[in-house]
């Protein structure tokens, strides 16, 4: 059974009694200070790193666009505008200059707390499972709700070591848009080694008797069924035959797409088994002394 908001906030408070901004916690993560930490690059990437991410995103979008064009009718492909020219590094810096924002005393605390919240989303979301000491799965109904609770905990924890309604002015000052947490570390993971952050989370999970199971990330196909609102009085054999033919064609296409996604997942699992484990798995192994359930991934099971 999924946790509700209060249950998840209570669970977070057990993991981090002083909140995500607790000085002792930040000192544990960043003994030399936030600005001197290698993890500082997660929130303040270099110009070179920003350009690399720009190029990587461009290549991904080009691949998706090429796939879309290949499936489009010929007359549509002919009318599509050409791709924008690639930017050189200097052109990129001119078009996307780095914003010179001073690092405030609030940011020195808020930024590392936000990074911890992003990693917390990674551990509890993205197909993974946290199992409490009572055998319950610490999960919420949707990942968007999980992001909202993390944003809530990030803001409320600034006011009190225990979860309770904080001073509204203080809460507003520390509030972060939940959308920032909805994809976890997707946009920052390539900027620094996140093992130290995951290690802190797993230490606290182990301290409260919880465990963690790895879930291999994969895409799932959602195919909503069309509503059948035809009444018996309006039944038409020809229309019904056409609808049945279309339904079977949709089902065949859905099966084809699912088989394709399964092949992609199996290939990704085989590739993953030959590479270094992800940062979360490495951190878990350091803390628990073993690999989590689910790692290494089964190359014969697409799920």
| Segment 16-29 mean pLDDT | 89
Give which of 200, 196, 253 is closest to 223, Cα–Cα.
253
Contact of 61 with 129, CB cutoff 8 Å: no
Q: Kindly state the tokens that stand for 276.
A: 């270094």
Q: Which residue has the tokens 């996140």?
A: 194
Provide the token pair at 261.
């996604």
Residues 257 and 266: their CA atoms lie apart, in Å, by 14
Q: Residue 21: pLDDT above 60? A: yes
Lowest mean pLDDT among 8-12, 48-52, 211-215, 298-302: 298-302
Q: Is 26:112 a contact under the CB 8 Å cutoff?
A: yes
> Which of the four pLDDT bands, split at 50, 70 and 90, describes residue 284?
very high
pLDDT tens digits, 87-137: 888 988 888 888 777 888 888 888 999 999 999 999 998 788 999 999 999
Q: What is the mean pLDDT of residues 181-206?
A: 93
Closest listed residue to residue 123, CA positions, set 278, 272, 234, 231:
278
pLDDT at 152 over 90: no
182 has a pLDDT exceeding 70: yes
Mean predicted confidence (pLDDT) in 200-214: 96
Winning range, highest mean pLDDT, from 125-129, 201-205, 214-218: 201-205
Cβ-contact 199, 289 below 8 angstroms: no
Tell me the two tokens of residue 100.
């010179």
Maximum Cα interatomic distance, the chain, rounded to a whole number of Å: 77
State the Cα–Cα distance between residues 9 and 5, nearest whole angstrom.
6
**For residues 231 and 35, which has the higher predicted lDDT (pLDDT)?**
35
The residue with greater pLDDT, 277 or 249, is 277
Say how many residues make up the chain.
303
Beta-carbon-side half-sphere exposure of residue 208 (alpha carbons within 13 Å): 21
Per-residue pLDDT band at 300 (split at 50, 70, 90):
low
| Pairwise pLDDT comparison (164 vs 236), residue with the higher score | 236
Q: Which two tokens stand for residue 89?
A: 């590094």
Instruction: State how far the alpha carbon of 220 is from the alpha carbons of 223, 257, 260, 264, 291, in Å.
Output: 10, 10, 11, 11, 26
Confidence of residue 303 (pLDDT cuts 50, 70, 90): low
CA distance linking residue 300 with residue 303, whole number of Å? 9
Share above pLDDT 70 across residues of the chain, in percent, rounded to a whole number: 72
């Amino acid at each position: 059974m999924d946790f509700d908001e209060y249950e998840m906030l209570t669970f977070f408070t057990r993991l981090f009694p002083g909140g995500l901004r607790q000085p002792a916690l930040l000192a544990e993560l960043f003994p030399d200070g936030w600005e001197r930490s290698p993890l500082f690059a997660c929130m303040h990437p270099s110009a070179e790193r920003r350009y690399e991410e720009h190029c990587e995103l461009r290549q991904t979008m080009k691949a998706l666009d090429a796939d879309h064009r290949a499936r489009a009718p010929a007359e549509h492909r002919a009318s599509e505008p050409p791709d924008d020219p690639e930017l050189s590094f200097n052109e990129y810096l001119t078009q996307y200059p780095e914003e010179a924002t001073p690092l405030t005393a609030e940011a020195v605390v808020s930024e590392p707390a936000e990074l911890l919240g992003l990693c917390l989303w990674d551990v509890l979301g993205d197909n993974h499972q946290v199992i409490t000491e009572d055998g319950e799965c610490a999960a919420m109904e949707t990942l968007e709700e999980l992001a909202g609770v993390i944003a809530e905990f990030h803001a409320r924890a600034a006011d009190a070591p225990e979860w309770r309604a904080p001073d509204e002015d203080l809460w507003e000052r520390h509030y972060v848009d939940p959308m920032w947490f909805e994809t976890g570390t997707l946009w920052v993971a390539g900027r620094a080694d996140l093992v130290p952050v995951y290690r802190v989370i797993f230490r606290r999970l182990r301290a409260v008797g919880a465990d963690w199971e790895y879930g291999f990330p994969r895409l799932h196909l959602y195919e909503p069924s069309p509503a059948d609102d035809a009444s018996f009085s309006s039944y038409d054999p020809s229309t019904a035959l056409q609808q049945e033919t279309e339904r079977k064609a949709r089902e065949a296409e859905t099966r084809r797409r699912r088989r394709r996604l399964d092949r992609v997942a199996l290939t990704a699992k085989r590739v993953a088994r030959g590479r270094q484990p992800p940062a979360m798995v490495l951190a878990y192994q350091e803390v628990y002394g073993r690999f989590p359930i689910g790692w290494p991934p089964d190359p014969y099971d697409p799920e």
